[in-house]
Chains A and B, each alone.
Chain A
Amino acid sequence: MPTNLTFDVSRRELLIGSASAALIAGLGGWSADAAPPQRDGSVRLTVNGEERTLELDNRTSLLDALREHMHLTGTKKGCDHGQCGACTVMVNGERINSCLTLAVMHDGDEVTTIEGLGTPDDPHAMQAAFVKHDGYQCGYCTPGQICSAVAMLDEIEAGMPSHVTPDLTARPQASEAEIKERMSGNICRCAAYPNILAAITEVEGARA
């Protein structure tokens, strides 16, 4: 058992907890006198404007809920550990890694995925700019790059500082250095970075 638990749970206690969790579905680590909470959760999400209710194993990440349960496979699974950014979606307008969060934690939240930004016939400006500037090669990281970029420009507009912002009390500018730093959580294995930067810069210029 991990000794790095934040709290002192004895080995025996944890073994009992997980043994009963394995044996008595639905009872988990609960003591007998309390009402057992559910092992499976019902989650209500608004995804790309559409309300959905899902019955999910508590372990289901938001990413797996989107891909495997709602069949929105535009959002990609890369590392599944929050390192690569391929799974980036927007929740209540903010970009997050959908692999490092549980779907059950998002009851009532609004999720926007690449499918919700635009369609092939009516693309979002960022999608159009990625096509125009060839901001990809294999395309696997692209949905995450685009969702990240859209939310990132909102963060600059909201005045959020970054590691390269020179003056913390001034409004950040959408400079090349700022965009690169703020997009560092989206890895592109084909290294299409110069074209990704060109696409984002164009959209930013049009917004300004």
Chain B
Amino acid sequence: MKSFTYERPDSPEAAVKAYQRARGARYIAGGTNLLDLMKLEIERPAHLIDVNRIGLKKIEETDEGGLRIGALVTNTALAGDERVRRDYGVLTRAIVAGATGQLRNKATTGGNLLQQTRCPYFYDTNMPCNRREAGSGCAALEGHSRMLAVVGTTDACIAQNPSDMNVAMRVLDAEVEVLGPKGARSIPIEAFHLLPDEEPPVKEFALRPGELITAVTLPPPVGGKHVYRKVRDRASYAFAVVSVAAILQEDGTGRVALGGVAPKPWRRPEADAALPKGSKAVADVLFADARPTDDNAFKLPLAERAIAAVLADAQR
């Protein structure tokens, strides 16, 4: 690990100021992703701003009847919150389907939104990777791409967003609140994670330099049956090959988003509209522009079957 200086501000404003003062600074929350990458020297910040004591650890009800989740709320606390379990079950289900008890105790809401891909070549610093080093190429195109994305990709990068939580946030239409050198703003989750351009560099988040995530807000509950189905190589503790987050109403309407198949949580309004017509109609919409590799083309029928299973479950 490269050496770095460290500071621990005591408010969000102080954290943003600290970022502006330092060069090559990064925020650190749970550290479960950033430190992993720093050990591999994929990340080499010169300065770490520890945001664990700036507050933002509460889940509050909003005036509109939704919830405002502080960026430093841990994945464990969020999944265990009574209101989330009752009204936003898909979020609890998605979080507890990811990582382990130990990791979820440290992982934060903001850090999870920003977790890096698990593309094997991103981690192997001997291999070309546009996401790690713009312009070096993409080793995955001709390599092992079984776990990688099938849709929303370009030849610059075919990596998937590995988060479970993010898929649920997408189906819930969450908003990401940020504070930066130029003030506060709010980014809808659909615009928060970016698709790669045709050419590198691969920009993955809509954050501007120095912007700190302060909260994630959820709109008022929409009722319905909340499901998160994760297909993985083991029964527990593995990243999703494919996952489905859905909220289904009794009349057959609903919302659906997929994980493990794209560089961002994958949702289309037309796919939601196709739900009453069944899994094939939904998958046809979601995968209309799919460009899988030989290695991961299996994800297309797998995802359709996972959607079918979710729809069948909802009818039971």
Co-complex (A, B): yes
Interface residues, chain A, CB within 8 Å of chain B?
Answer: 1-9, 13-14, 16-18, 20-22, 26-31, 34, 36-39, 41, 57-59, 61, 80-82, 85, 88, 94-97, 100-102, 104-105, 107, 148, 151-152, 155, 158-163, 165, 168-169, 180-185
Q: Within the assembled complex, what's the spacing in Å between the Cα atoms of A150 and B8?
A: 31
> Is A30 within 8 A of B202, CB to CB?
no
CB nearest neighbor in B for A88: B102
A7→B19 CA distance, assembly (Å): 11
User: Which residues of chain A come closer than 8 Å to B101, judged between CB atoms?
Assistant: 95, 148, 151-152, 155, 162, 182-183, 185
Does B224 reach chain A (CB closer than 8 Å)?
Answer: no
Partner pick for B2 among A21, A27, A165, CB 8 A cutoff = A21
Q: Is the CB of A17 within 8 A of B35?
A: no
A101: min CB distance to chain B, Å: 5
The 3 closest A-B pairs by CB, nearest first: A185-B100, A29-B46, A17-B24
A80 to chain B, nearest CB (A): 7
CB distance from A87 to the nearest CB of B (A): 9
| A interface SS class | loop
Contacts of A82 in B (CB 8 A): 32, 36, 102-103
Alpha-carbon separation in the docked complex, A9 to B19 (Å): 12
Using CB atoms, name the residue of chain A closest to B103: A82
B102 touches A161 (CB 8 A): no
Q: Provided the pairs A8-B209, A102-B31 are in contact, do residues A30 and B5 lie with their beta carbons within 8 angstroms?
A: yes
Residue from A21, A27, A107, A148 having most chain B Cβ neighbours under 10 A: A21
Are A30 and B47 in touch, CB under 8 angstroms?
Answer: yes
Interface contact A2-B1, CB-CB below 8 Å = no
Can you offer 8 A-B residue contacts whose CB atoms are under 8 A? Answer: A4-B122, A5-B43, A28-B4, A34-B22, A39-B4, A101-B30, A105-B52, A152-B101
Q: How far is the CA of A111 from the CA of B6 in the complex (A)?
A: 21
Q: Are B200 and A3 in contact (CB under 8 A)?
A: yes
Cβ 8 A contact of B5, one of A39, A88, A107, A162: A39
Interface assignment of B285: CB less than 8 Å from any CB of chain A: no
* B116 surroundings in chain A (CB, below 8 A): 4
B23, B50, B237: which contacts A184 (Cβ < 8 A)?
Answer: B237
Task: Let me know if B132 and A4 touch, CB within 8 A.
Answer: yes
- How distant is the Cα of A104 from the Cα of B52 in the complex, in angstroms? 12
